[in-house]
Structure 1
Amino acid sequence: MTQGRGLEIREGVDLTYSDVLTPEAVAALLALRSLDARRVELMRGRLERRRRRQERKQRIEFLPADDRLAGTDLTVADARAGRFAGSDIPPDLQRQWIQGTGPAAKPLAPVEKSIRNVAYALLSGADGWMFDGEDALGQVSTMSLDNQRNLKLAIARAPLFLQVAEQVASEMNAWAQQFFGRSLVEDWQRQLDFTTRIFRARGLHLDDRHVRHDGGAGFSASIVDSVLYVVNNHKALRDAGASVVLYLPKIQTAEEAAFWNAILTGIEAHLAIPHGTIKVYVLVEQVEATFQLMEIRAALAPHFVGFNTGRWDYINSVADAMAWDPAFVNPNIADVTMTYGYMRRYEDRVRRAVNTPDANGRFALWQGGMEPNIPVGTAAGVANAMKRAVAGAEREQREGASGKWVAHWKMVHIIRPVWEKADAANQLGRAFPPLGYTPDDADGLFALEPAARTVRGARDLISVAVQYGNAFGQGMQAAALKPADSFGNDDVLYLMEDMATGEIRLSIVWEWLHKAGAFTEDDPETGVRMGDPLTRSLFDRLLREEYAKLLAANGRDVHEPSKTTTLPIAREIVEVYVTNTAKLPWYIDLLNLNLDNGDLDEARSRIAAYLAAFARGERLTANQSFGDATLLTS
C-alpha cells in the first residue's frame, strides 16, 4: 500500500467524533502527515537491527562516542557529557510523588459511564495521572477516540463531567470510610485541580485504527494521539496554568527520540506556541534505550523532563534481545523483581542519567515503577499485599526516585505517605557515580542470577497470558487478573495487568521451551524432575489444563460470552507465539490483528498471514476492519 496526498478517516467516525476530530485537529494531522514516512523507516530499522543481532548472535552495544546523533547537531560524547540545553521542570511537575496510571475510557460504554475513569483519577489525590492511550487502553471499536473525548470534556470542565465527578467523589468517600476510617475528598471541585494531567500516546510501532494514508497505508498512532491531545487541550491547560505533558513509550534509540522531538516541534510550530511548551517523560521500557539514556535526553531537549522505570516491558525487551542466546533463560516471573540482576543495573543507569547535569546545570526526574496491587480481598490478603507494596515504595524512595506509579486509585493514599514522610518535592541532583560505558557496564545489563524455574511458575505464566489476551479482545487492555488456581481465593489479590505483562509471560515460556530451560524442582503432579526441560508435550498439557480451568471459571474471572469468541482466539495466539521456532517480537501484533473479531477461523487466517509476513521481515499492523473511508486533503 502507498501513502497518497492526504489522509482517510473511517467513514462515520469523522462525524460521530467531530468534537475530537475538529477542523483544527485534522489540519494538524495533515500538516504532520509527511513525517510518517520517517517513522516507517525507523520501524524497519528496528526489525533490521534485531534480525542482524539474531543472525550474528550479538548483544546490544553502546554507541561510538564520536558518532553524531541523528536528528541533532550533537555527538554522542556531547550528549553523555551533558553538553546540551535541557528543560526546566515546570512547577506542576516538581512534586510527583505518586502518579496513577490508567485509561480515560471504558470499553463500549456511554460517555457518562466511560468518563468515570477520569473522575476517579482526578479525585484520587495522586500528584499526577498518566491517562493511557497505549498499553492500558483497549482498542476495540472507537475506544482511542472515546479516550480523547473524555479527556477533552474533563479538562474543559464540561457540565457532564462535573456531574459525574460529584457522584464519584461520594462513592470514593464511602469506600475510604470503610478502608481508612476517613473520607478522601473534602471539596471535590477543589480536588479536581490537584492532579497534574498527563497523557501517554501510543508507540511508534503502532498504526492508528481510524486514520490512514489515502493510499491505504497505515498512519502513525503516535502522531494521531499526540496531535489530538495537544490540539484539543493545550489552550485550556495553559489558561489554567497547567503544563502540557506526555509520556512517550517504547523508544529504543536516540534516533527514535529525535523523531519524537520532530513530532513535538511540529505540533508546537503548527499551533504557534513556544518551542518546548510540550513536556515529556520517557518510559525506559526497552533495553536498547538503556544503552543510550543521555543520548535520548539530548535528542528530546528542551521537552524532556524525566525517565520512568518499569518492570514488565523491560523484562520482555531483554528476553527478546537475547532470544538468540541459548544460555539466557529467565526464571519464574515472580523472581525478576527490580532488585534482580539485570533489572538492578538498569535502574541504576537510569538514576545516574537523570542526575547528570546538562549545560545549564539542570537535572531530570526519575519516576519509579508500577505498583499493580489492588486492596480488594480478605483482610489478611490485603494486609500482606499492602505491606509488600509499601516496602517496594520505600526501596525506590531510598534509591533516589522522586515518585512512583500505582495502577489503581485505591493505592494512592497507601503509597503516597512514603514520600510525604521524606518531605522533599523531588530528588533532583542527588549524587550518584557517573555513567560508565565499559564492556562490564554492558554485560551487567544482561546479568542473570540463580532463581526458581518451576512447573507452577509455567502454569501461572500460561494462565495469565491467555486471560490477558482474552481481556484485550474484550476491550480491557488493563485488567485485574490472577492465575486460575487462585480463583475464589481472596487471600491472593488480583493484580492490575496491562499489555506488557502478557508480552513478558509469553517471552519467558518461549525461552523455557526453545532453550530447554531446566526446572529447578520436582513437580509430582506432572512427573517433572529437577533438571528436566519444558518439552512441547508438557507445554501442550499445561496449556490444555489451564485453558480448561478458564472455561470452567465463573463470570467474575472469565466473562461467559468470551468463552466462545475471544478466549479461543487468545488460546490460539498463545500456542502459536510460544511454539513458533522464531521468537516473535510482539504479542500485541497478533492481538491487534484480531480486534473486533470473534471468529476463530478468521483469527487463524490472520495469524497465518502475520507469520508469513514476519518470515519476509515485515510486520502486519493495519486495522483489518477499517472499511470505507472519508478522504481529507489539505
Structure 2
Amino acid sequence: MSNAEISIRDNLKETYEDVYTKEVLDALKALAPFNQEVKKLMDIRLRRRNERALKGKRIDFLNPDTNIPGTNIKVKDAREGNFEGAAIPKDLERQWIQGTGPGAKPNATLESSIRNVAYALLSGADGWMFDGEDALGQVSTMSLDNQRNLKLAIHDSPVFLEVAEKVASQMNSWSEGFFNEEKISNWREQLKFTTKIFRARGLHLDDRHLRLSNGSSFSASIADLTLYVANNYRALMGAGSSVVLYLPKIQTAEEAGLWNKMISALEAHLGLPVGTVKVYVLVEQLEATFQLMEIRAVLGKHFIGYNTGRWDYINSVSDALFWDKDFINPNIESIGMTYGYMRNYEDRVRRAVNTPDAFGNFALWQGGMEPNIPVGSKEGVRSSMEKALAGAEREQREGASGKWVAHWKMVHIVRPVWQKKGTPNQMGRQFEALSYDAEDAAGLMLLEEAPRTVRGARNLLSVGLQYGNAFGQGMQAAALKPADFFGNDDVLYLMEDMATGEIRLSILWEWLHKEAVITEDDPESGVQKGDVFTLKLFHKLLEEEYNKLLEANDKDVYESSKTSTLPIAKRIVEVYVTETTKIPWFIDLLNINLNNFDLKEAEKRISQYVKRLKEKGQRITENMDFTV
C-alpha cells in the first residue's frame, strides 16, 4: 500500500478548516491506504465487463461452494443466513418516507445554500438521504459546501436555526394552500423528527479536491465516508441518533466487503465499536442482484437494508448487456417496476431482506423514487399525484417498509399510504426463499414487448441534453421535462438526477448500435413502423431537440448556458451515443468538463477520454484541473 501523503487542492484546507479538521485529516490519513484497493477493484470491474463482452457471457450466480472473493465467508453460508447481521436501531425502525436531495446549492451564499437542509429536516420525512452523489452538483466546492451545511445543521448552529425558522414559515404557507392546514406546529421540535442519512459517492468516482502526493487520484468514497462520519458522529450519537450511510453503485459482494473494511477501519480509528455506522445499500447494479445475500453477509453488523432505485438499475442492465444484440430496451416510460426484469429484481430484494440471519435479524426494504413534484395545472397535479399514490400503494402491498420522494412537497402526500397501515415496517413478511437457478438468472434480464417510438427517442434526447446542461451548471438534481412540453402545465416537471440522464442515453446507444426497430409510424419525421433507428435519424433528432432548447425561455434553459454548458452537453451526448465503444459511465464525460465552459477544450478532453478507454481499457476519473 502507498505511504504517499494526501494533498488538498489550492487553499481549501484553510477555507474549509471547519470541514478539514485535524480529526478528519488524521482519519483520512488512516484510510488513505485503501485508495489502492479501491483502484484495484475498479480495474477488475472494468476488465470483468470487457471479458463478458468478448465472450458473450451473461452475469450469473456465484458458486455456492466457494468463498465470497476477498473474504473467508462461504457463499453457501451467506445464502442460508449463517452470519451475524444488525438489529435495526430505534430511529430506523420506521422509515415510511425518506426524502432525497443535496444539502447545498451551486454558487450560493451559506444562508441560501443551507436552506436545502432546512427544507429536508422540516419536511416530515422519517429520514432524509442527504446526497453526496447523483443529486449533488460537483462544480467548484459543492461537495465541501454539502459537508459544511450538514455539519452546521447536525450541530444546531445559529446560522442554520435562523434559516430553519424562516423556511418553516414558507413551508407552512405552501401547505396551507395545498392541504388547507399548516404541517409544522413547532419548527424546533420538527427538526428532531427526521433521521439524517448521507449517501457517499460510489467506488467508481474520484474526489475533486484530494490527491495523493505521488499524483494518484483519491477515492471519492473514502473522502465522503471520512468527512461525514468524523465530523458528525459525536453530535449524532449525543442526540441519540444513528450514524447512517447509503452506499451506491456496488456491483459485487467483494466491493461491499471493501466498504465494510473501510467502515470498520474508520470505526476503529475513531474508537467506535464495530457496527456503530449503519448502512443501507442501493441495489442499483444488475450484478448485485445476483449476490444480495452475499452483500448482506460481508457488511455484517453494518447492514440494515436495501433500496430499489429504478433508474440506475435500468442503466446497469443496459450496460451489462451492451454487447448482446438481442437485448434492446423499449421507451423509458414503459420500464416501470412491474416490467420484466424490474419485477424480478424487486422480488429478489424483498426475499433477500426477509431471509433471517443467524440471530433472527431481518433487514429493511426501502422502495424506489417518486420523482413527481406537485407543481403545475390542477389537472396535471391531480393525475400525477394519483399515479404517485398508486405506485406507493403497490410497493406497500409488495412488502416495502417505505419509499423515497425527490421533493419535500411530496412527503405528506405519500406518507399516509404507510401511516394508514400503522406498522413501523414490514420486516419478516413471509416470501418464497431465494433460489439460484437458470430461470432466476434469465428473469433478471427479461425483456417484454413494449413500444419503441420516435416520440420516445425525442423524450430521451431532450432530457438527456438538458441533464448534461444542468450538470455543468452545478445542478445534478434538476426539475426537467421534454422540450415539447415546455409551457404545458398539465405535464409536470420530474426531478431528474445523474441516473435518469444516464439511462436515457444508454437506451439511445442500444437503439443505434443494435439497430432497434421502431414500433409505430411517426408522420412528423417520416419514420414508419418497422424502420430501423439509424445514425441519420439520431442526428436529425439531436439537431431538432437541441434547437428547441436554444429557443426555450430562461425558465427552462438558462440563457447564459446556451453559449457555455449546453453546447458541451450536446457534444457529450453525441459522442456517448455514437461511439461504438460503449462508454461505461456517462458521468465520466461530464466530470472531466466540470468548471469548463469552452467547447474546444471539452472536445479535447472527450477525445482524450475515448482514446484512453479504447487503447488502454481505462477511464479518466480524476479532476483534470488539479495536479500535485
Q: TM-score, normalised by structure 1?
A: 0.98
- Which whole-Å CA distance do the structure 2 matches of 1:263 and 1:521 have between them? 51
**Contact 1:4 1:213 (8 Å CA) reproduced:** no
Q: Shift in Å at residue 11 of structure 1?
A: 1.7
**Contact 2:3 2:33 (8 Å CA) reproduced:** no
Q: Counterparts of 1:149-298 in structure 2 under 5 Å?
A: 149-298=148-297
Q: Counterparts of 1:453-602 in structure 2 under 5 Å?
A: 453-602=452-601
- Which whole-Å CA distance do the structure 1 matches of 2:24 and 2:288 have between them? 31
SS of the aligned residue for 1:296 comes to: helix
SS of the aligned residue for 2:32 comes to: helix
- Which whole-Å CA distance do the structure 1 matches of 2:73 and 2:460 have between them? 44
- Which whole-Å CA distance do the structure 2 matches of 1:266 and 1:99 have between them? 28
**Contact 1:129 1:197 (8 Å CA) reproduced:** yes
**Contact 1:3 1:217 (8 Å CA) reproduced:** no
| CA-to-aligned-CA distance 1:418-454 (integer Å, 9 cap, x gap) | 0001111000000000001000000000000000000
**Contact 2:98 2:402 (8 Å CA) reproduced:** yes
**Contact 1:198 1:245 (8 Å CA) reproduced:** yes
**Contact 1:253 1:288 (8 Å CA) reproduced:** yes
Q: Shift in Å at residue 74 of structure 1?
A: 1.0
Q: TM-score, normalised by structure 2?
A: 0.99
Q: Shift in Å at residue 72 of structure 1?
A: 2.7
Aligned to 1:107: 106
| CA-to-aligned-CA distance 1:459-505 (integer Å, 9 cap, x gap) | 00000000000000000000000000000001000000000001100
- Which whole-Å CA distance do the structure 2 matches of 1:296 and 1:514 have between them? 34
Q: Shift in Å at residue 71 of structure 1?
A: 3.5
**Contact 1:352 1:433 (8 Å CA) reproduced:** yes
Asked if 1:619 corresponds to 2:628, the answer is no
| CA-to-aligned-CA distance 1:521-542 (integer Å, 9 cap, x gap) | 1001111110111111110000
Aligned to 1:27: 26
Q: Shift in Å at residue 324 of structure 1?
A: 0.8
Aligned to 1:325: 324
**Contact 2:351 2:433 (8 Å CA) reproduced:** yes
- Which whole-Å CA distance do the structure 1 matches of 2:70 and 2:400 have between them? 30
- Which whole-Å CA distance do the structure 1 matches of 2:175 and 2:190 have between them? 15
- Which whole-Å CA distance do the structure 2 matches of 1:582 and 1:142 have between them? 32
**Contact 1:4 1:214 (8 Å CA) reproduced:** no
SS of the aligned residue for 2:188 comes to: helix
**Match for 1:214: what amino acid?**
S
Q: Counterparts of 1:272-421 in structure 2 under 5 Å?
A: 272-421=271-420
- Which whole-Å CA distance do the structure 2 matches of 1:332 and 1:238 have between them? 46
Q: Shift in Å at residue 3 of structure 1?
A: 5.5
Q: Counterparts of 1:48-87 in structure 2 under 5 Å?
A: 48-87=47-86
**Contact 1:82 1:359 (8 Å CA) reproduced:** yes
- Which whole-Å CA distance do the structure 1 matches of 2:262 and 2:131 have between them? 19
**Contact 2:282 2:307 (8 Å CA) reproduced:** yes
Count of residue correspondences: 627
**Match for 2:56: what amino acid?**
K
- Which whole-Å CA distance do the structure 1 matches of 2:157 and 2:384 have between them? 38
**Match for 1:30: what amino acid?**
K
- Which whole-Å CA distance do the structure 2 matches of 1:337 and 1:466 have between them? 22
SS of the aligned residue for 1:302 comes to: helix
**Match for 1:246: what amino acid?**
L
| Runs ≥4 residues deviating over 2 A | 70-73
Aligned to 2:136: 137
Moved more, 462-471 or 64-73: 64-73
**Contact 1:312 1:500 (8 Å CA) reproduced:** yes
| CA-to-aligned-CA distance 1:84-129 (integer Å, 9 cap, x gap) | 0000000000000000000000001111100000000000000000
Q: Shift in Å at residue 73 of structure 1?
A: 2.3
Q: Shift in Å at residue 614 of structure 1?
A: 0.5
**Match for 1:622: what amino acid?**
E
Moved more, 67-76 or 599-608: 67-76
- Which whole-Å CA distance do the structure 2 matches of 1:322 and 1:35 have between them? 30
**Contact 2:104 2:113 (8 Å CA) reproduced:** yes
- Which whole-Å CA distance do the structure 1 matches of 2:435 and 2:291 have between them? 11
- Which whole-Å CA distance do the structure 2 matches of 1:165 and 1:334 have between them? 37
| CA-to-aligned-CA distance 1:328-383 (integer Å, 9 cap, x gap) | 10000000000000000000000000000000011000000000000000000000
**Match for 2:124: what amino acid?**
G
Q: Shift in Å at residue 4 of structure 1?
A: 5.5
Is there any run of 5+ residues in structure 2 with no aligned partner, and where? none
- Which whole-Å CA distance do the structure 2 matches of 1:377 and 1:625 have between them? 41
**Contact 2:319 2:506 (8 Å CA) reproduced:** yes
**Contact 1:316 1:507 (8 Å CA) reproduced:** yes
- Which whole-Å CA distance do the structure 1 matches of 2:70 and 2:518 have between them? 47
Aligned to 2:14: 15
Asked if 1:45 corresponds to 2:65, the answer is no
- Which whole-Å CA distance do the structure 2 matches of 1:492 and 1:520 have between them? 24
Cα RMSD of the aligned pairs, angstroms, is 0.8
SS of the aligned residue for 2:128 comes to: strand
Asked if 1:444 corresponds to 2:446, the answer is no
